[in-house]
Amino acid sequence: MNDKFEPRAQTANYEDVWLVAGVRTPFADYMSVLSGVSATDLGIHVARALFERTGVPASDVDSVVAGNVAQSSFDAFYLPRHIGLYSGVPLGVPALLVHRLCGTGFETILTAADQIALGKAKLVLCVGTESMSRNPVAAYSHRSGFKMGQVEFKDFLWEATLDTASNTRMGETAENLARHYGITRPEVDRFAEQSFERAALGWSSGFLAGEVAGVTSQTWNLEGYQARGIKLPRSVARFERDEHVKTSPFDVLQGLRPAFGKDGVQTGGNSSAIVDGAAGVLVASGSYVRAHGLRPLARVVAGASVGVPPEIMGIGPVPAIRAVLAAARVQQRDVARFEINEAFGAQYLAVEKELELERSRVNVHGGAIAIGHPLAASGVRLTTTVARELEQTQGEFAISSACAGGGQGIAVLLRRAA
Ligand SMILES: CC(C)(COP(=O)(O)OP(=O)(O)OC[C@H]1O[C@@H](n2cnc3c(N)ncnc32)[C@H](O)[C@@H]1OP(=O)(O)O)[C@@H](O)C(=O)NCCC(=O)NCCS
């Protein structure tokens, strides 16, 4: 591991930036019910649901910031623009795509906060959206044909989980952390079992349903332009619950084969599930919130992003959380709830050990092991969830955070609205 590493975080504090509301699709297993739906259409669905639920008119939006990692349709270049147009945002409003790998969803919110702080916007539509199922089978060298036997077509999803700088697959970076922190397979499986249990409780208690907008087949018309929409499989009238959340007892998890080398601790059961889904939030200036009498979920206090060595990319939340706390002069003990992405069980446990986190304050409604990790959507989901948890617990501060492939960490600090 690279020991010549010094975190150099980029941070910002925000005075009067608000997270108005958030909503997401239920997350569907890889190659399941949402596999026919592009990331753009998943994003349009959550944006429309946001406007419908909040009553905030789409016509008030003056900036669209969308996040997407893997292109999942031939019209992917237009993803942020189409999310804006087909959710009712005026034609004259610009739209931006951001990409910080697994940190992308957070980045949509921090970019919105930057735009608001700079006076470029008052109300920003942020959407993180990902179709893992529709990752292409691609070739980069065949525009002029190919020689016999030299075909490059490859599974983009599989290839993209290899960081070619360090030559480590994402799962291997978690194995590196497991070795470094002495994290064992039973510890990882116990943690995974808990993630599934907490997510199941999150559904049975109604908490998770509160942030989900079920998906149905539908058509969106836009005057003067092509109609588009969502077509679910004929047998599915409505998709409304995270598909990967299922009973996963320790003994069953223990029986699964290691995914990254025979002595490894990570399996298909204790790694983030590969799922399709989208999440959206509205971020607004204080003046917009007050002028419209809105009751926001939380204030966006600060954000931080930072680089870490690629071969231990999963440790990213540690310097990111430290940096965001330092920037805002908030103590870790004053943070009532954390949502930290569970890219891999051992990766989360390394972060927990390093920060000495109390498990009772972290991922209390389950994490990506159970719910899934649709890359660009995760940061928006985690920030929405933790803001709702803050409201539920009446705590003061909350943090959402994730590591990102390539070696980065990102964190958002929120404060309860009232
Ligand atoms: C770890 C990983 C490689 C596993 O992929 P996989 O081998 O295709 O995993 P599967 O989902 O098929 O699971 C393997 C087996 O475990 C079983 N399994 C998985 N989760 C389970 C659970 N919760 N309970 C019981 N069984 C489970 C599957 O049914 C499957 O069984 P089978 O072999 O009999 O069909 C993949 O999930 C992965 O790469 N995840 C992380 C994605 C990623 O890198 N994201 C970015 C983070 S930076």
What would the pLDDT profile of 223-244 be if each residue is shown by its tens digit?
Answer: 999 999 999 999 999 999 999 9
Q: Which atom of ligand 1 is the closest one to the Cα of 30?
A: 11
> Beta strand pairing status for 408-416 and 397-404?
antiparallel
CA-nearest residue, atom 9 of ligand 1: 268
Distance CA 321, CA 207 (A): 25
CA 342 to ligand 1 centroid distance, Å? 14
- Around ligand 1, the residues with Cβ closer than 6 Å are 102, 161, 170-171, 248, 252, 256, 259, 266, 268-269, 271-272, 274, 343, 373, 405
Q: Which atom of ligand 1 is the closest one to the Cα of 246?
A: 23
Report helix, strand or coil for 414. Answer: strand
CA 367 to ligand 1 centroid distance, Å? 15
For residues 186 and 269, is the Cβ–Cβ distance under 8 A?
no
Q: Which of 46, 102, 208, 402 is catalytic?
A: 102
CA-nearest residue, atom 11 of ligand 1: 268
CA 171 to ligand 1 centroid distance, Å? 11
- Six-digit token pair at 333? 């003990």
CA-nearest residue, atom 2 of ligand 1: 268
Q: Which of 403, 410, 411, 414 is catalytic?
A: 403
User: Taking each helix axis from N to C terminus, what angle separates 345-355 and 317-328, rounded to the nearest 10 degrees?
Assistant: 40
Share of the chain above pLDDT 90, in %: 98
CA-nearest residue, atom 31 of ligand 1: 256
- Give 379's contacts (C-beta < 8 A, 6+ positions apart): 67, 102, 103, 104, 105, 106, 107, 108, 109, 128, 341, 400, 402, 410, 412
Question: What is the full DSSP assignment across 33-74?
Answer: TTTTS-HHHHHHHHHHHHHHHH---GGG--EEEEE-SS--ST
CA 191 to ligand 1 centroid distance, Å? 16
Beta strands in 76-176 (DSSP E): 95-98, 123-130, 137-138, 154-155, 162-163, 168-169
Clarify whether 403 is annotated catalytic. yes
What would the pLDDT profile of 152-201 be if each residue is shown by its tens digit?
Answer: 999 999 999 999 999 999 999 999 999 999 999 999 999 999 999 999 99
Distance CA 292, CA 199 (A): 34
Q: What is the average per-residue pLDDT within 286-304?
A: 98
Residue-level pLDDT at 1: 66
Residue with tokens 């079992």: 193
CA-nearest residue, atom 39 of ligand 1: 171
Asked if residue 418 has pLDDT above 90, the reply is no
**Sign, CA torsion 293/299/300/301:** positive
Q: Which atom of ligand 1 is the closest one to the Cα of 252?
A: 25
Amino acid at 199: A
Domains of the chain: 16-134+208-242+273-291 (3.40.47.10)
Q: Which atom of ligand 1 is the closest one to the Cα of 375?
A: 46
Query: What is the pTM (predicted TM-score) of this model?
Result: 0.98
For residues 281 and 126, is the Cβ–Cβ distance under 8 A?
yes
- Six-digit token pair at 220? 């969106």
CA-nearest residue, atom 34 of ligand 1: 256
Q: Which atom of ligand 1 is the closest one to the Cα of 192?
A: 23
CA 258 to ligand 1 centroid distance, Å? 9
For residues 355 and 378, is the Cβ–Cβ distance under 8 A?
no
Angle at 35 between CA 30 and CA 40, to 5 degrees: 115
Residue-level pLDDT at 3: 66
**Sign, CA torsion 251/255/260/261:** positive
CA 248 to ligand 1 centroid distance, Å? 12
What would the pLDDT profile of 323-352 be if each residue is shown by its tens digit?
Answer: 999 999 999 999 999 999 999 999 999 999
Distance CA 297, CA 98 (A): 23
Average pLDDT along the chain: 97
Distance CA 200, CA 202 (A): 5
Among 193, 256, 348, the mutation site with the greatest number of ligand 1 atoms within 8 A of its Cβ is 256
CA 159 to ligand 1 centroid distance, Å? 16
Clarify whether 102 is annotated catalytic. yes
Burial bucket for residue 130 (CB in 10 Å: 0-12, 13-18, 19+): buried
Angle at 405 between CA 402 and CA 408, to 5 degrees: 55
Residue-level pLDDT at 41: 98
Asked if residue 246 has pLDDT above 70, the reply is yes
Residue-level pLDDT at 255: 98
**Sign, CA torsion 54/59/299/344:** positive
CA 238 to ligand 1 centroid distance, Å? 26
CB atoms within 10 A of CB 301: 21
Among 251, 274, 315, the mutation site with the greatest number of ligand 1 atoms within 8 A of its Cβ is 274
For residues 398 and 383, is the Cβ–Cβ distance under 8 A?
no
Residue with tokens 């996040």: 67
Question: What confidence tier does 9 reach under pLDDT thresholds 50, 70, 90?
Answer: very high
Asked if residue 4 has pLDDT above 90, the reply is no
For residues 371 and 348, is the Cβ–Cβ distance under 8 A?
no
Which run of H or E residues covers position 28? strand 28-29
